[in-house]
Amino acid sequence: MNPFSNYQTSNSMGKQSIKVFWPITGVDMSEGRVVGWRLRDTLCVVGIVQDWLWDKILAEMVEEEYLVGLESIGRAGLDATKNTDANGKQYTFWVNKERIPLSCSNPIILVLYKPPDSSRLQYLIPSSPDLHLTVQDRHDPRYQLTIEDDQLSAVVDLINKTRHVQQLFRSLQMESVAEGKKKRKKQASFSSAPYFLFALDACAQTIIFLFSICIPCSSSLRALSTSADQLCARLEQSVRGPVRYLTTWNDGRINDRAARYNVIVTRYAETELTLRTRFWNTVWLVINDLILGYAAHNLIHQHSEWLSITTSTFFSAYVIDMPIQALKWLNDWPVGLKLNTPLSQFFCSTFTLLIQRWGDCVTPLLHSLLPQLIYLLSILSLTGFTTFLAVSHDMLNLLTLHLLFGYKVMRVVCGWQIDSLGGLWNLFRGKRWNVLRQRTDSYEYDIDQLFLGTLLFTVSAFLFPTVLSYTALFGLTSGLIFIICRVLEATRQAMNRFPLFEFVLWIKEPSRVPGSLNFTMQTISVGNEEKEIEDKSVMRVLVLKGTPKTLSDILFYQ
């Protein structure tokens, strides 16, 4: 299928229009040979060069990959009165003082674009929400342009290389080819630097694999421990770092070295921009993490004695004594809540004994080891504030393990009680669960079964409020602990994943955060030259522009 198929226009000779992408900047001459790429019925112009420079470019195509595929498209000039010998493949363009074509020997659709500067991370990305971009002149319905995704991607890839090719043209024109070769050779030798990271990558992959192995009757260590998950996250960043690092100095391209790191490049500009952004975002996040971690280290070191006393007091008062007081309060029928006395006393005495034994075991260890633990926490904070949050998260889970155990037990008991009440309620109504049909059917029970079921249902119904009350108490306690842990986890994940670099770029220079493409119609005034070119093909002019990402795309679509 031919792209731009919706645009059908012909001149008097019946020739079909060709799409010509013409750079607004970087064209240094008004007369000479027009050089660019030819892509089926589309031309992507790079610039205008003299004939001797074109011969030099042909000689450099063997060594410089960016010049591969360039060809002579035609000629350009200022005088529209000169005769041309343009054929089907060679065009003659008449340009104005701004070096923008006013007319052409053949009918064309002119699309103006500004070459993005890859050294400043400026690219055009053909990944817009609507991949079929349409431009239509509302005053003339005949002029409509629809660009398909595959054709647009190929053209945009060429546009992203245009500025670098224009710089190569200037380098050749100034006869500095030798310096450019030396620079490229220096970069090629420098590109071997990440090889020493292979051993580190192998160790990191091994540690990540070991932490991800599921423990029998449980989950993996990475899922159980926040500290292990944070360590794996940093190791994963160290594994991906060399690949993303290669793109920071590679002059706007992914080379073969990146391919050895198993990088599959589908769209070279989009892939490179993503890798560069992620690399520098990781660098920024790690640096901020280290700065905040150093600040936390100083605070912990300066107030270690106060933290030791406060932590010990908090554990004794709020983790041991307060749950025991809450159990005794619930056992004394608060606010007129009448519970089953024997069952309530059983729950109260059992969980009180559990909490006291936990306190007797942990409190002496905490008093003796707490200064060393706080010192260790201050040392670990030097590796980042996220490490401090992860270790604090794990320590909180360990110190409140008895409360989590009580909640698990009461949840199982409450669930069993609800299931029993449901089954006895069906028996009380003369119903039974049909396993084959997965529904409740009527069933005739014996008088003994009905009597026993009614008796058990009555007993369970009177015991259920007591079970529910103690389940709610432990559920409330576990809910408070869960909220604190979620706040710590959300803060840690935000410091690991927040798109800080891209967000700052979006504020500072939105053009470095490309989001989509759009075409706008533009009219070029020919002025006094209108009479000279009235016999030539006058074009419709479109301007290709990139629009930056929205803030929601940056924050929520990573």
For residue 137, what pLDDT is reported? 43
| Measured distance CA(485)–CA(229) in Å, rounded | 14
Q: Any residues with CB less than 8 A from the CB of 406 and at least 6 apart, and which?
A: 351, 354, 355, 474, 477
Q: Any residues with CB less than 8 A from the CB of 3 and at least 6 apart, and which?
A: 40, 41, 42, 147, 148, 150, 151, 152
For residue 223, what pLDDT is reported? 86
Check pLDDT > 70 for residue 511: yes
For residue 140, what pLDDT is reported? 43
For residue 330, what pLDDT is reported? 92
Question: Among 327, 371, 373, 359, which Cα is nearest to 466's?
Answer: 327
Proportion of the chain above pLDDT 90, given as a percent: 30
Check pLDDT > 50 for residue 551: yes
More confident position, 193 or 46 = 46
How are beta strands 91-95 and 71-77 bridged, if at all? parallel
> C-alpha distances in angstroms, 528 versus 509, 519, 531?
39, 28, 7
Per-residue pLDDT reduced to its tens digit, 121-150: 777 877 543 333 334 444 443 344 455 556
Give rounded-to-5 percent helix, strand, coil for the chain.
60, 15, 25
DSSP, res 215: P
Q: What is the pLDDT of the chain when averaged over all its residues? A: 78
More confident position, 297 or 423 = 297
For residue 79, what pLDDT is reported? 65
For residue 495, what pLDDT is reported? 93
Query: For 85-94, 137-146, 502-511, which range has the lowest pLDDT when averaged over its residues?
Result: 137-146
Per-residue pLDDT reduced to its tens digit, 330-379: 998 887 777 888 999 999 999 999 999 999 999 999 999 999 999 999 99
Band of pLDDT at residue 6, cut at 50, 70 and 90: very low
Band of pLDDT at residue 15, cut at 50, 70 and 90: low
Q: Any residues with CB less than 8 A from the CB of 119 and at least 6 apart, and which?
A: 251, 252
| Measured distance CA(490)–CA(478) in Å, rounded | 18
Per-residue pLDDT reduced to its tens digit, 391-437: 999 999 999 999 999 999 999 999 999 988 888 887 777 777 777 77
- Average of per-residue pLDDT across 11-31: 75
- Average of per-residue pLDDT across 451-469: 87
Per-residue pLDDT reduced to its tens digit, 488-502: 999 999 999 999 888
Band of pLDDT at residue 558, cut at 50, 70 and 90: low
Q: Any residues with CB less than 8 A from the CB of 289 and at least 6 apart, and which?
A: 384, 385, 386, 495
For residue 537, what pLDDT is reported? 58
For residue 271, what pLDDT is reported? 63
DSSP strand E in 96-195: where?
Answer: 101-104, 108-113, 133-136, 144-147
- Average of per-residue pLDDT across 110-122: 83
Phi, psi of 544 (to 5 degrees): -95, 125
| Measured distance CA(392)–CA(398) in Å, rounded | 10
Band of pLDDT at residue 238, cut at 50, 70 and 90: confident
Decide: helix, strand or coil at residue 4. Answer: coil
